[in-house]
Structure formats: structure tokens, C-alpha cells
Amino acid sequence: MVVTTQASTRQLDDAEVEGLDRWWRAANYLAVGQIYLMGDDPLLTRPLAAASTKPRLLGHWGTTPGLNLLWAHASRCVRERDLEAIFVTGPGHGGPAVVASTWLEGTWTDVYPDVSRDAAGMGKLFRQFSFPGGIPSHVAADVPGSIHEGGELGYSLAHAHGAAFDDPGLVVFCVVGDGEAETGPLAGSWQSVAFVDAARDGAVLPVLHLNGWKIANPTTVARLSDDDLVAHLGGRGYAPVVVEGPHEGETSADVHRRLAAALDGCLDGIAAIQARARGRAGDDDHEVVGTDDVPRWPLLVLRTPKGWTGPAEVDGERVEGTWRAHQVPISEVRGDDENRRRLEEWMRSYRPEELFDADGRPQQDLLDLVPRRPMSANPRTNGGSVSRPLRLADFRDHAVEVRGPGETMHSPTTVLGDWLARVAVDNPTTFRLFGPDEVASNRLQAVVEAVGRAWAGKGDPDDDRMRPSGRVMEVLSEHLVQGWLEGYLLTGRHGVLTSYEAFVHIVDSMLNQHAKWLKVTRQLPWRDPLPSLNYLLSSHVWRQDHNGFSHQDPGFLDHVATKKAEISRIYLPPDANTLLSTMDHVLRSEHYVNVVVAGKQMVHDYLPVQEAVEHCARGLGIWDWASSDEGEEPDVVVAAAGDVPTLEALAAVDLLRTHLPRLRVRFVNVVDLMRLQSASEHPHGMPDAEFDAVFTRDRPVVMAFHGYPALVHRLTYRRANNGGFHVRGFVEEGTTTTPFDMVSANDMDRFRLAADVLERVPGLLPRHAALRQRLMDARRRAREHAYEHGEDPEEISGWRWPHGGVHHAMPAGTPAGRGGGRPAVDDAGDRPTP
């Protein structure tokens, strides 16, 4: 039942084989040179001297010859078929390989002109590799043609698919190492095959490269028989073909012939699948109901020895073909003459004098092998250079009407969904929405209704709007949707990933790597800015009624806050209109990681759209209508960041205004969390004078915060009033839960916040101990009601802001809101104790 790909019957002629082998030898020579040589005599015109070798030998040889082999062969196909193609290097620690081919193709010199394609440049190429002030040892952002560093293993196949979506002319050669194949994210990535639209997407050709070993262990995949491997991958929906070599007595030429035939078979298979789908294009964009007409995409398995062409043995132990070839197979070449002689013999075995002319330029026949469109120079791999801004309809047209603060309620993500659907429709090939089966659950169903879900596997009558051309991508793997989105962004397109807040931690480490990519590429002048990586975290920590404690974790904010300030942005819009304005902003932004947290449950509408825009532009500001300081220095600042915190904080202010009408309360809402940080630490940081004018320099600040309280303390660390912040947030007290049970278990409920104010404003508590007791009693009664009836009392769940208020439009030039220009005066002595 398993379908396999047949190798092509076309056989290479001897000249073609010789050309491939010569390219391979050249690339291998250049790779070994990078690992070992200082670069003063790159062509080995003299016997190799100790001083010509690097004092510290860094890098990875083991995977390198296999990568060189695959690059040479992929490049032959690109040339012969005039493909638009890119090369994704799963085993990215084989940096020397990709750097070598990129230099041979001339692209390295195009990007870094001082590293010329001659002996002088070859010397620099050798020296710079994994050398102080040089380039990393991986296929990092510094390498032209790379969209995938491969430093952390697991994401190559997801990146490759992300690159291929909506790019029908593209072929992505994706090398998956057998080490990487053991990782969970890679193992889960094979199912990508069921999401490729043969008509409208490009093709990914996965190459599972088995060299058999990791650092010190065999790989579990390589220990499977060919039959088992073909069954395993074939069962998942591929049509595999296996190439192994060299067998006993064979030369590399035999492997070249078999590999070329297999690759041609794969590319013929891809072309056939696409032709069939595209021949009927226009009418296959139906929902795939009841069909199992699913293509089996080709997949190549290549078995070659680890460290092939390197030293067979060192000190009596087998090296080539074993784990001992993983990094530097011969060490101590400076101090050990015999080792250095072995290295020289190894390097000369590639016969560099036949490959490069006396000036170190590749021989003309090698230059002639470079395709018209070399993979290293494909503009898609510099995604910013081909990216176009999204067409964004005016979100104001989708805003909810707000007559007075808190009078109406909406689900913010439902409102957002209507606008996002429009964005998806207006950008039919450059925007996708990604999520792990939670798009509808997060109330973004409108997007599904407008543009459908991507699915190219077998259909079923109960499928909900699934079709190959669908724009919403859902699979229950945070790793896979994140990897797809990254690949899509890295090649210049746009997207949003929506997830349950707690489980986005699953991709913490992927976020790290993407943030590092953004940080490094910002410093590379030839790399253009990329569209931002946008997270919409709904079903957040405070609203997990179905699920409880395991689904409650706001720590992704803390994680993102550790990234470089020029990269990371965190937004906590409190209502529907602020969410709209925020999402419009992040979809226009470039080269950031934007994290937006917004609930899907009904929340009060606070701000009309124009005020929402101004509030979001400001990032944080005083809400006059909720404050009772009437332009005076307040007795206390009550602040909130997040939708549930804003609700509880406003309800607390209501309690204070009702019971302590003379208390001067200022209410501050924070949308852009990084405004809290000092301007010296974050580009969004509010200048100290403005910050002090809003939060005062010395009055108590009682803040309800969406996440862990420590994050606010960390961000406000350098503020004058840092010590005055009293923050309530999530303290790892999960509940099975009504909304009030949840906030009160974490001491972030309205009564606790109001009591905090009593306790924090000097002089209040002694006079109002009875009020504090009443607050605590009301809190206890509300919880008891929930415990008895299973739902919150009406006075909690039905609470509305009762004080009315109008929205004072603030002068556009006052960045900190009303208080912007007000001097911070310490008038503690005059403070009334109501």
C-alpha cells in the first residue's frame, strides 16, 4: 500500500558525474580549510606549517560532506530545470558546507566584497570561520541564502513548508539530519505534507540524510531498516526513495549516479503532482468532501557515511562513518606534527590544484555549474527584500460603538475576527492565520468563514470549511504552526499565531531562536527588515473555566521580556476597540516579536475607537472618567494592565468612590507594557518625567496585572516610585473556577484591591478598619456563593461601571495623557485622610 518514488531512468554522462564530483571536492576542501586553517596559505602552496593552523579547532565536520553532496546535486537540478529553489539546512552546524558552496557560487563575495572569490578571499573565508570577530559556525543569518540556522534542531521541515506556502513556483530542498529527526518538533513536522496545496503552494522536497550518528550515540532513525523507513514515512503520506552508498568497492561516482537519478525522480514526481493539480486549477478549490485523492509527495532518504572523505582512522580508532567524526576528527594539529601531516594529506586528497587556478579562483568548469538562479542568492531568503506591506482595511469600520464607559460588552476577539477576516480576504497570498486547533475556540471563526481552513488530506462531510486553498492553518502542534509561520515570515509574508496563553510556552525556545535571528539580522545591513512575528494569546490565564490550573500560566510575557529590547513588544488591550487598534499596529510593524494578550470572553467596552487609538498610541494613560483626583495630586494610583485586571481594578475604584468619596483616586490603564520600562532600557520606555507625572514619584500605586507581579517590578526597577508599586497578579494559585473564584484565589479581586488601597494610603486604615472588614466579608460571601451555586453572584458577574463619565479627548501632543505636563509635587503633608 506504501507508494514509493521511482528513480529517473535518465543516467548522467561521465562529464556530468565528473562535474558533480569536482564541485563536491571543492566544497569539501573549502570546508576543511575553514575548520583548520588560518588562511595565510589557503591553496597549500607550501607544506602545512603549524602557524597556518588555527589555535582553537572549532566546528563540525561530520555532517559537512553530506551537505556538500546534496548542495551539489540540488544545484545541478536547479540549473538543468531552471528552478526557483532554496536550500534549508537542518544540520546547521554543518556551516562550513553551506558557506563553501555559497562562496563557490559567488554570492558570499556579492554580499561581503572583501571576501573575494580568489586566494585572498579564500584565506579570509578560512580565517573568519568560527574565529573571534568572524562568522558563526552554523548556517546563521550571516550566511546568504539561509533562512534557517539549524543551531537548535527540530524546525527545518516546518520552516521549509512555511517558505513554500503561497509560492507556487518554489522548490525547497530541505535536509533533515537523522539527529534532528529524533526531536519531537521534527517528528511532528512530517504531517505538514497534508497541508500543501499542490495548485497554489510551492513544493518541499525533504531529504532525510542518515549518516548514522549524533555526538556520541547512533541515531534511532538510521537503525531502522530501509523497509521500515519506507513504511514509516510512506505511511505518513510520502512516496520515499532511498539512496545509499558507497557500497563495498564503489566510488563516489556510483553514488552520484544513483543520487542524481533519485533526485530527478523526486522532481519529476513533484512536477507531475503540480501539473495535475494546476491543470484543473480553478475547480479544485472546493471543500475536499469525501475524497481521498491525496497526492503522495516524494521524499528522499540518503544514507552516506558520517564524515565521508575524512580520515578513516585516527590513533587506531575508526573515525569516518562513526560518531567520532562529529566535530573535529583530527585535533592538536598545531602542536602535533604527525596530526598536522594527516590533516595536510586529507586536504590534498581533494586535489585543490585541479579545482582552483593559481590565483585561487574556481576553475571555469566549476563556475559554469553555477545556476542562473543560485540557491544562495534567492531573494526569498532575504524575506524583507521581497516583502510588501499588507493591505489593511480601516479597523475603525469594525469598531464597536461606545456611548459611555462600560455600558456595553463585547468579546474582543470576536470583534477582531471580523476585521481579520477582511485582512485575510484582502491579502489572499500574503497573510495566513495560524493556530493549534483554537482559532474557532478563540472566537476568530469569522476568519474561517471568510477564507477557510487549509487541508489537503482526505475529506469528510463533517469538515468545517476545509480546502487546499484555505488560509487558516490549524494542527495540534504549537511547534508546527510556529515553525510554519516563521518560515512564512522569513520569506517576507505576514501572519498571526493565536494560541492558548499557557501553551505558547511550548515554543519558548523557538521564540528564542527567532528573536536571535531578528537581533542578528538587524545588524546585517544587507538583510532587510522582516514582517513581525505576531502572537495573539487568547483563552488566557484568567479565563480557563473548562480547564483549570494546567491551562493557567502567564509566564510567556516574562520570557519575551528577557529578549533584546529592540525586538520585544507586549500589549494588553483591555477591550475590543483597543484590541483592534493594537492589531492594526502590530500588522504594520517590522522586525519585532509582538505579543498581544486579549480575552475571548465578553468584556466591557471602555473606549470609543478614536480614544482607543489615542490610548494605544500613548501606551498607557490616565482614564479621567474613572479617576476622582480631579486634576490634583492623587492619594493613590490604581493601575491595571490586561482585560480582567482592568475589570477588577475598575470595580475596586467603584468601591472606593462609593465608600470613600473624598479619596483622590487616579486610574491608569496600561496597554503597552514596555512603556513601564525606562526609556534608557527600551525604545518604548516612557521618559521618567512623564512616568512620574502619571504614577507620581511617591504615592502608593496599587496595580492589577495580567501576569506574574515580579515582571512589573522588574520593568519599573529604575523608576523613582518603584518602591511604591504594590502589584497583584497571578501567583500560581489555580482554581476550578468561576471568574471571581479565580481572581480572588490570586488576591487580584476588587475587594482585595480596594483593601490594598486602604492599607497603602497612609492614615487610611486606622479610620476605616470597619470598611476593610466589610470588604473582606463581601469577598468571602462572593466566594461562598460560588461554592454553593456554581456561579458568581449577580452583583459580581453583573457589575457595571456605575459612575458614567465622558471620554475627554486628550491633546495629541501629550504623550502621557492628561497628567503629561503636570509637575510631580510632593504634597504628602496636605493629604486628606478621608
Question: What nine digits make up the cell of 337?
Answer: 606534527
Q: Does 437 contact its own copies by CB under 8 A?
A: yes
Q: Which helix (H) or strand (E) holds 203?
A: strand 203-210
**Does 287 engage in binding with its own copies (CB under 8 A)?**
no
Question: Would you count residue 787 as binding its own copies (CB under 8 A)?
Answer: yes
Task: With contacts defined by CB under 8 A, name the span among 317-325, 363-371, 526-534, 653-661 that binds its own copies.
Answer: 317-325
**Smallest distance from its own copies to CB 400, Å:** 25
- Contact residue for its own copies among 189, 381, 578, 746 (CB under 8 A): 189
Close Cβ partners of 558 (under 8 Å, ≥ 6 residues apart) = 707, 708, 710, 711
The radius of gyration of the chain's CA atoms, rounded to the nearest angstrom, is: 31
- Using CB under 8 A as the binding rule, whether residue 79 contacts its own copies is answered as no
**Looking at 136-144, 362-370, 418-426, 773-781, which segment touches its own copies (CB under 8 A)?**
136-144
Residue 182 binds its own copies (CB under 8 A): yes
Tell the smallest beta-carbon distance from residue 711 to its own copies (Å): 8
Give the x/- contact pattern for its own copies in 545-564, rule: CB under 8 A. xxxxxxx-x-x--xx-xxxx
User: What is the side-by-side strand order in the sheet with 636-641?
Assistant: 620-622, 665-670, 636-641, 701-705, 725-728
| Angle value at C-alpha 660, between 658 and 662, nearest 5 degrees | 115
Decide if residue 595 touches its own copies (CB under 8 A).
no
Determine the residue type at 655: L
| Residues 449-488 within binding reach of its own copies (CB under 8 A) | 453, 455, 457-458, 460, 462-464, 466, 474-480
Residues 6+ apart with CB under 8 A from 452: 287, 465, 466, 467, 469, 470, 471, 472
Stretch that binds its own copies, among 109-117, 233-241, 380-388, 391-399 (CB under 8 A): 233-241
Residue 199 CB, nearest approach to its own copies (Å): 20
- Using CB under 8 A, which of 49, 50, 215, 689 touches its own copies? 215
**CA distances in angstroms from 328 to 112, 131, 150, 225, listed in the order given:** 27, 15, 19, 29
- Contacts of its own copies in 728-747 (CB under 8 A): 732, 734-738, 741
The yes or no reply on residue 59 touching its own copies (CB under 8 A) is yes
In the complex, least distance from residue 659 CB atom to its own copies, rounded to whole angstroms: 27
Cα of 583 vs its chain's centroid, Å = 17
Q: Exposed (0-12), middle (13-18) or buried (19+): which is 759, by Cβ within 10 Å?
A: middle
Give the binding-site size for its own copies (rule: CB under 8 A).
133
Angle, vertex CA 621, rays to CA 620 and CA 622, nearest 5: 150
Quick one: which of 542, 555, 625 has its CA closest to 595? 555
Alpha helices in 14-58 (DSSP H): 14-36
**Contacts (CB under 8 A) with its own copies, residues 485-544:** 502-503, 505-506, 508-509, 512-513, 516, 519-520
Of residues 702-721, those binding its own copies (CB under 8 A): 708, 710, 713-714, 717
For its own copies, what does the binding mask look like between residues 651 and 690, x meaning CB under 8 A?
Answer: ----------------------------------------
- Binding residues among 192-211 for its own copies as defined by CB under 8 A: 194
Contact 399, 576 (CB under 8 A): yes
Counting contacts by CB under 8 A, is residue 780 touching its own copies? no
Q: Is residue 763 at the binding interface for its own copies, with CB under 8 A as the rule?
A: no
- Note the residue count of the chain: 834
Give dist(CA 825, CA 508) in Å, integer.
43
Q: Is residue 365 involved in binding its own copies (CB under 8 A)? A: no
397 binds its own copies, rule: CB under 8 A: no
Q: What burial class does residue 553 get, using C-beta atoms within 10 Å of its C-beta: 0-12 exposed, 13-18 middle, 19+ buried?
A: buried
Question: What is the closest distance, in whole angstroms, from the C-beta atom of residue 502 to its own copies in the complex?
Answer: 7
Least CB distance to its own copies at residue 365 (A):
34
Q: Does 692 bind its own copies (CB under 8 A)?
A: no
Site membership for its own copies, residue 790 (CB under 8 A)? yes
Binding flag, residue 391, its own copies (CB under 8 A)? no
Would you give the binding string for its own copies spanning residues 319-358, x where CB under 8 A is met? Answer: --xxx---x-------------------------------
Task: Tell whether residue 781 is a contact of its own copies (CB under 8 A).
Answer: no
Least distance to its own copies, CB of residue 414, Å? 15
Element (H, E) at 209: strand 203-210
Please calculate the CA angle 194-195-197 and round it to the nearest 5 degrees.
Answer: 110
Least CB distance from residue 403 to its own copies, whole Å? 29
Residue 143 found at the interface with its own copies (CB under 8 A): no
H or E segment and range at residue 616:
helix 609-618
Our CB check for its own copies shows the closer of 409 and 565 to be 565
Strand segments, DSSP code E, in 42-123 are: 84-89
Q: Which is nearer to its own copies, 541 or 587 (CB)?
A: 541
> Which of 390/745 has CB closer to its own copies?
745
Smallest distance from its own copies to CB 203, Å: 19
Q: Residues 443, 421: contact at Cβ < 8 Å?
A: no
The DSSP output letter for 626 is G
**CB closer to its own copies out of 710 and 809:** 710
Of 354 and 566, CB closest to its own copies: 566
* Per-residue DSSP letter, 310: S
What single-letter DSSP state applies at residue 129?
B
Query: Toward its own copies, which CB reaches closer, 234 or 820?
Result: 234
Tell the smallest beta-carbon distance from residue 698 to its own copies (Å): 15
- For residue 292, give Cα distances in angstroms to 456, 459, 474: 9, 7, 20
The answer to whether residues 496 and 482 touch, using CB atoms and an 8 Å cutoff, is no
Q: Does 64 sit near its own copies (CB under 8 A)? A: no
The 10 Å Cβ neighbour count of residue 811 is 11
| 152: exposed, middle or buried (Cβ count in 10 Å: 0-12, 13-18, 19+) | middle
Query: Contact region for its own copies (CB under 8 A) — 111-119, 175-183, 631-639, 759-767?
Result: 175-183
Q: How far is the CB of 497 from its own copies (least distance, A)?
A: 15
